[in-house]
A = this chain, B = another copy of it.
């Protein structure tokens, strides 16, 4: 009987800060799957901004917090290493809500097999939360039209990079806001964005004005921060603002105020906050929309992969500090 590690949430990030004191690593004996169950050995685990919400006390959020003493929540990919379930065979690669653990037993519900040709990284970078979130937000609420201009913040991030590429494929002018020149280079030269703004170094208003001569029809917000006001003020009549993330403010006790609402009236703007848990029922249609773009090679991605479950907490900090280049993954 060999053992494995799992990581429990034991404290809440009261001040929004994530550190080792929040977690406790436990060594467990690898269990046998029961009747109708499978044993999964996790190989890749996803780190996502939503995790800060899952760790927090806030009962108003869209999914309940992780209880103290529970394995920290996450999605991931693993290999079936033992199966008493007729739908799963040993060797199957599956994706689902795995948690911060090296092994887990499941009755298979919520787990889907990876399709042929889909690697573990592609599964977590494109066909999991990032791609589904990008597709939902862009098409349900952004309603992009050929020839329009879209600005996306967090444009080198897991969601933003897909939003921008989908919009480019649909014939929009796409400008991305990023936090480094390296990311700016990547989204323009590798992903084909029409322009990039480095929010840390550029003159935000001047650069935005230069890059959006026809102003902005769709604003896909992943970050918050001071550039929000500039983008907001440059919206066109009947513009759409999709509010997907505010990572710049999640860890703040006193989040920065937003813009005054007068332009919403003058320009008859629609704003929509959303979160994927409302849209799980639409996943088949979302994948139907997303998959052709991927097959046509229009969706590039990059994973920022770190090694070892014990580094998960550090990876989460990198994500909130914007140090990651691409979708944060942990390889187990």
Contact of B255 with A257 in the complex, beta carbons under 8 Å = no
Contact of B273 with A250 in the complex, beta carbons under 8 Å = no
| Residue of A53, A61, A264 with highest tally of chain B CB at under 10 A | A264
A262-301 CB contact bits vs B (8 Å, 1 = yes)?
A: 1111111111111100100000000000000000000000
Residues of B with C-beta under 8 A to A273: 261, 263-270
* Residue A3 CB within 8 A of the other chain: no
Residues of B with C-beta under 8 A to A249: 260, 262
Contact of A264 with B243 in the complex, beta carbons under 8 Å = yes
Q: Which residues of A contact B (CB under 8 A)?
A: 53, 58, 60-62, 221, 224, 228, 237, 243-246, 249-250, 255-275, 278
Residues of B with C-beta under 8 A to A267: 60, 273
* Given contact pairs A237-B62, A266-B60, A246 touches B275 in the complex (Cβ within 8 A): no
Residues of B with C-beta under 8 A to A278: 268
Q: How far is the CA of A261 from the CA of B264 in the complex (A)?
A: 14
Q: How far is the CA of A43 from the CA of B316 in the complex (A)?
A: 69
Residues of B with C-beta under 8 A to A250: 262
Q: How far is the CA of A53 from the CA of B255 in the complex (A)?
A: 32
Contact of B261 with A268 in the complex, beta carbons under 8 Å = no
Residues of B with C-beta under 8 A to A270: 270-273
6 contacts between A and B (CB under 8 A): A60-B266, A245-B265, A258-B261, A264-B271, A266-B275, A270-B271
CB distance from A151 to the nearest CB of B (A): 15
CB distance from A112 to the nearest CB of B (A): 25
